[in-house]
Amino acid sequence: MIVTIGFWLAVAILIGIGLATHESTVQLLTTSSRVDRARQVTENLHRIRFALQDAEQHTRELITTDDMTHQKKRLLAAAQVNGAFNRLRKSATDWPAQGQDLAALEILAGDRLRLLDEVVQLRNTQDRATAIQFLDIDRNRALVSQIDDSIYKLLESERQALILRDDELKAKAYFSIELFALGCFVSLGILSGVFLYLNTQITARRAAETELAKEKLLLEKHVDERTAELSATNVQLVAEAENRRHTEKALQVLSGQLLQLQDQERRHIARELHDVTAQNLSAITLNLARVETFLAGTDQRATQVITDSVQLAEECLREIRTLAYVLHPPMLDEYGLPRALEWYLEGFRKRSDIKVELTVAPDVGRLPADTETALFRIVQESLTNIRRHSGSQTASINLMRATGVVTLLIQDSGHGFREPLAAGQPPAQINLGVGVTGMHERLRQLGGELQIESSPTGTTVRAVVPTTGEKL
């Protein structure tokens, strides 16, 4: 606190010294400007005097010699007189008394110039001797004397003013020097006191720093010991994290293999159901139809039983074929994803009474087999969830293809999940059931992404898969 007060006090004194020095400098510049003005006034006054003399001299020469060159020089001298008075009026704006004397001088000079004009006119109308005699009359001499007195008076007043200004400047300069010296001594005293106080504080601080250095050594030793313990723990955690990464990677590989085995097993079961069980049921249906033909008209009860059996067999055959197509539709391998989706949605609409609209971009075409299978399974799982859980009566499926990616968009207008899902929230971090986890795993195996947005007004499932083999 003491240091701050002393510092700002010294600064205030130095600022005061600076202001006083500035004021002295301003006064010096003002005086210098006034000296220049006085010099200009003096020069212009002498110029007026000499120009008036030149005008009279050229007037005499004009009368005696009839040389018109002197007329031009006379007019030029008169113009110089007017120009000098214009400059004097600008210089005398800050001194009203001088302005009055200057106005009186200008009137006298104007009278003398008019007198010279009259002499020239007289020379033109009368003889030369009369003009010269008129030039030497007492009136002209009186004007010359009055002009000289006015010029002398102006020069003397300017000299007296300069003396007063010089005395004033000296007084202010001496005062500024005294003030500067006093401020320097006071500032030096304050700064000396501040220096002594700071020296005392620095000595105390050095003692405290020595003590802190000892404490720092002890703290650094403790920190080094603790750091060694943490380093050992960190090495152990890194090893555990590495083991966990390997385990997760192995689980991901195993999960991918399980999905592949699941698809292969579905394909195998679907083929067995279609090629073996469905064929056998077809044969049974044909045999029962033949038995029905053989018993026609013999035993009505047996015929009815056979008829019912044929219907049951045909129903079983349809169910098995549907199950085989659901497990793995042969159209997916033969005609691609768009045709397989059309066929699947046709049956889904009949089974669920849900209106599903399918939109496929014209440039989708054929995709890699793994990609088509994954997207078909995602459609199956999503529609199953819509039928079982959402309560929606409508759904839409959009299949689009852009540069390097294919996008599947599935939307419904149901009541959504129990907890709303924000856009971009990873499905793997939320407990959404085995089906959604399987969808996410399928896309992860292909380097794609699964995004689910859910709200009370509906759910949107977005699946994006690269077609170039690179991960998103």
User: Is residue 262 in some structural domain?
Assistant: no
User: Is residue 316 in some structural domain?
Assistant: no
* Tokens representing residue 247 in the block: 């385990």
- Comparing CA positions, the residue from 140, 147, 151, 128 lying closest to residue 56 is 140
Distance in angstroms (rounded) separating the CA atoms of residues 246 and 249? 5
* Tokens representing residue 251 in the block: 């689980």
Look at residue 422 and tell me whether its pLDDT is greater than 70: no
Supply the pLDDT for residue 253.
64
pLDDT digits (tens, 9 = 90+) for 341-382: 898 888 888 888 899 999 999 988 888 888 888 899 899 889
Residues near 385 by Cβ (< 8 Å), separated by ≥ 6? 435, 436
Distance in angstroms (rounded) separating the CA atoms of residues 131 and 137? 10
Q: Which long-range contacts (CB under 8 A, 24 or more apart) does 218-224 make?
A: none
- Exposure string for 159-196, b = 16+ CB within 10 A, e = fewer: eebbeebeeebeebeeebeebbeebeebbeebeeebee
Contact 13, 187 (CB under 8 A): yes
* Tokens representing residue 432 in the block: 């959404």
Contact 17, 184 (CB under 8 A): yes
Q: Which whole number is the average pLDDT over 30-56?
A: 77
Supply the pLDDT for residue 304.
79
User: Is residue 311 in some structural domain?
Assistant: no
31 vs 296, more confident: 296
pLDDT > 90: percent of the chain: 9
Distance in angstroms (rounded) separating the CA atoms of residues 436 and 235? 37
Q: Are strands 394-402 and 355-360 parallel, antiparallel or unpaired?
A: parallel
pLDDT digits (tens, 9 = 90+) for 376-405: 989 988 998 898 888 889 999 999 998 889
Residues near 451 by Cβ (< 8 Å), separated by ≥ 6? 423, 424, 427, 461, 462, 463, 464
Examine the fold and report which residue of 135, 168, 201 is the final residue of a domain before the chain moves on: 201
Contact 147, 105 (CB under 8 A): yes
pLDDT digits (tens, 9 = 90+) for 439-465: 888 888 888 899 999 888 899 999 999
User: Is residue 320 in some structural domain?
Assistant: no
Residue 385 sits in a domain of what CATH number?
A: 3.30.565.10
User: Is residue 391 in some structural domain?
Assistant: yes
Look at residue 62 and tell me whether its pLDDT is greater than 50: yes
Domain total of the chain = 2
Supply the pLDDT for residue 130.
65
Assign 428 a pLDDT band (cuts: 50, 70, 90). very low
Assign 25 a pLDDT band (cuts: 50, 70, 90). low
Per residue, the 3-state secondary structure of 371-427, as one string, reads HHHHHHHHHHHHHHHHHHHHCCCEEEEEEEEECCEEEEEEEECCCCCCCCECCCCCH
What is the domain extent for residue 124?
A: 2-201
Assign 431 a pLDDT band (cuts: 50, 70, 90). very low
Q: Are strands 449-455 and 405-412 parallel, antiparallel or unpaired?
A: unpaired
Assign 190 a pLDDT band (cuts: 50, 70, 90). confident
Examine the fold and report which residue of 201, 228, 252 is the final residue of a domain before the chain moves on: 201
User: Is residue 103 in some structural domain?
Assistant: yes
User: Is residue 431 in some structural domain?
Assistant: yes
Distance in angstroms (rounded) separating the CA atoms of residues 30 and 416? 88
Largest CA distance in the chain: 183
Examine the fold and report which residue of 185, 201, 217 is the final residue of a domain before the chain moves on: 201
- Comparing CA positions, the residue from 134, 135, 128, 130 lying closest to residue 63 is 128
User: Is residue 228 in some structural domain?
Assistant: no
Supply the pLDDT for residue 463.
93
Contact 400, 407 (CB under 8 A): yes
